Amino acid sequence: MAWHYNPVVSWDQKVEKYLSQALGHSEFTRITHALSRPSLKQSVRVNTLRSKVEDVASKLNSSISLTSPASSLHVHPQIPYILTLNGAGPRNVDYSPCNGREVVVNRMAGEAILRGAQVYCPGLLAASGGLAAGDLVGVSVALELPGSRWCGIPRGMVLDGEGKKRQKQQRSCHEDNGVGGQGRRPGLGAEVELPDRTHLFLGMGRCVQGRRAMFRNQNGLAVEMVDRVYDVPSLNGILPGEIIAQALPSILAAQVLAPLPGSRVLDMCAAPGGKTTMMAQLMQDRGEVIALDRTHAKVTEIRAYAASLGLTSIMAIKADATRAVKGWQSKDKTLSENPSDKPRQFGTPEEEMSSMNEDGGEAFEGFEPESFDHIMLDPPCSALGLRPRLSHTWTLDQLYRMADYQKALIHAAVALLKPGGTLVYSTCTINPAENEGNVKYILQRWGGRQSRSCEEEAALACKMKLIPAEPVLGGPGLSIAECASMNSQDMPWLTPYDADLVQRCDPSDRDGHDTIGFFIAKFKKEIL
Ligand SMILES: C[S@@+](CC[C@H](N)C(=O)[O-])C[C@H]1O[C@@H](n2cnc3c(N)ncnc32)[C@H](O)[C@@H]1O
């Protein structure tokens, strides 16, 4: 048996129509296809404050040649402290040594396996009966059913042979593992119609433990992958403190801001700290990088991350960045509270929207207006550019709400920036409302015609000038010219001139970088 990995990942209908209109049908189709595959070019940032690029390259070469002989390593031609690690795939895996034995993992585990991870017990949903340690198994991923966060496969289910569509749920079946949300689950002993998995096999693995133990254990390795559809080397635990695995456009965003040593920089939405640490590195760890995040655990994470890289210029503070201007603490929230008790899953609407509503907590007075030389605003976003992604559950309403939330952060950023200072606005989404839409909002709102009518507005009586986001690795933004046939009145298109100043990184490898979908815009603050 050799199945071809070819998942069909669907969108909410209205979102599909909107994105397909905005990006063009063929571009949207290409992007949807790319998003369900891992990027085959991984970027590794070298901590140049600690190590030399050539030393790291040679150490990394020897460690990956042992684990992933098919991979290769190159210094990035435009940004010399980035190493690009090339993976391979998709490959046809021969599953015949498995003799029909298999395991099914949940979506999050499946996405991690595509990025090079192993199969851990919590990610398992179902397995063939009688599996023993040492057995070879085909590993497939279950996708959520349309309109539901349940995938149709109850955890603990016994699979009795690939290809069989109807399976009897066994008495040993465990209750839902928390991945499920809505949708009716079958009772014990019920007949279950299994979704077709033939295009969802991710490779072949060897069981590390028997079936019973796999489902009994809460943690630990269940299956070690021996042959994968995509061979993307895992960098977990390799050269700690010397390298940082980070998506190319995320590194690029900090490089576009290019803060100089000695400057005062604010990273408004900083966790886990990829751009924060990158900016401190560009500043030779001299000056001040203030990193805000509204989640306590994430602030702790930024501090630990900075310490592990030996950076001392970073100060992480738990704060709500929409209120980071002194005197704005009593401002109304833009969004109503939306506490979520659902399991946290990165990039789902629930995860991203709940991160907006974490308690602002710690006493924080805010910063004086116009007190930062540079500001990085990489706000929570719909993350529709991240890959591999095997489920798209955002609704149009949620996408617009996200763009509105970002506007509240933009207001604070503009107020906190010194005249002459620069702001980078970036997202990891392909959603025009959060990208070109917010750039257009800034240009309309701070186009140079404000009156100094009230105290707060005084801090905002400025012009935000769109300036080139350089170095250029991505393509231009969406412009009116491209979409002339559409009703562009309410659409967030930019003028062709402005579209050329921003960068839209295309996840479908159109620009040759085979990376995530990303957007970067840079502004300079001018006083009227
Ligand atoms: C896209 S992530 C930032 C990624 C980060 N810039 C990096 O490169 O590693 C967005 C972050 O914003 C945080 N966040 C959401 N709302 C916030 C707010 N009002 N103030 C501060 N942080 C916020 C979330 O907790 C999340 O960690």
Tokens of 160: 């009795």
Domain of 352, in residue numbers: 13-18+247-527
pLDDT at position 459: 53
Residue 130, pLDDT > 80, answer: yes
Q: Is 477 annotated as a binding residue?
A: no
How many domains does the chain contain in total?
2
Domain finish residue from 228, 258, 281: 228
The answer as to whether 279 is a domain residue is yes
Contact 293, 270 (CB under 8 A): yes
Please tell me the pTM assigned to this model. Answer: 0.88
**Statement: residue 66 has pLDDT above 90:** no
CATH number at residue 309: 3.40.50.150
Residues 207 and 294 in one domain: no
The verdict on residue 134 lying in a domain is yes
Closest CA to 374 of 331, 422, 409, 330: 422
The answer on whether 274 is annotated among ligand-binding residues is yes
Q: Are residues 218 and 255 in the same domain?
A: no
Residues in the ligand 1 pocket, defined by CB under 6 Å: 250, 269-275, 292-295, 298, 320-322, 355-356, 378, 380-381
Tens digit of pLDDT for each residue in 8-31? 888 999 999 999 989 999 999 999
Check 428, 454, 462, 483 and give the catalytic one.
Answer: 428
Identify which of 99-103, 147-151, 329-333, 489-493 has the greatest average pLDDT: 99-103
The answer to whether position 240 is within a domain reads: no
CA 288/CA 277 separation, integer angstroms: 11
Is ipTM over 0.90? yes
273 carries a ligand binding annotation:
yes
For the question of residue 428 being annotated catalytic, the response is yes
Residue whose CA is at the smallest distance from ligand 1 atom 1: 380
293, 323, 334, 357, best to mutate for ligand 1 pocket (most atoms within 8 Å of CB) = 293
Q: How far apart are CA 450 and CA 347, in angstroms?
A: 36
Residue 434, token pair as written in the block: 């959060």
Distance CA 247, CA 272 (A): 13
269, 323, 427, best to mutate for ligand 1 pocket (most atoms within 8 Å of CB): 269
Asked if residues 500 and 445 have their Cβ atoms less than 8 Å apart, the reply is: no
Q: Which band of pLDDT confidence, cut at 50, 70 and 90, is reported for residue 165?
A: very low
Instruction: Determine if residue 151 is left, alpha or beta; phi over 0 gives left, psi from -120 to 50 gives alpha, anything else beta.
Output: alpha
Q: How far apart are CA 119 and CA 109, in angstroms?
A: 7
Distance 307 CA to ligand 1 centre (A): 19
- Tell me the three state secondary structure of residue 307: helix
Q: Is 134 assigned to a binding site?
A: no
pLDDT 10s digits, 308-346: 999 999 999 999 999 999 988 766 544 433 323 233 344
* Nearest atom, ligand 1, residue 320 CA: 20
Is it the case that residue 407 has pLDDT exceeding 60? Answer: yes
Q: Could you tell me which of 199, 170, 168 has the C-alpha nearest to residue 6?
A: 199
Instruction: Specify the residue with its C-alpha closest to ligand 1, atom 22.
Output: 293
Q: Do 262 and 368 fall into the same domain?
A: yes
- The answer to whether residue 416 is domain-embedded is yes
Is residue 219 domain-shared with residue 320, that is, in the same domain?
no
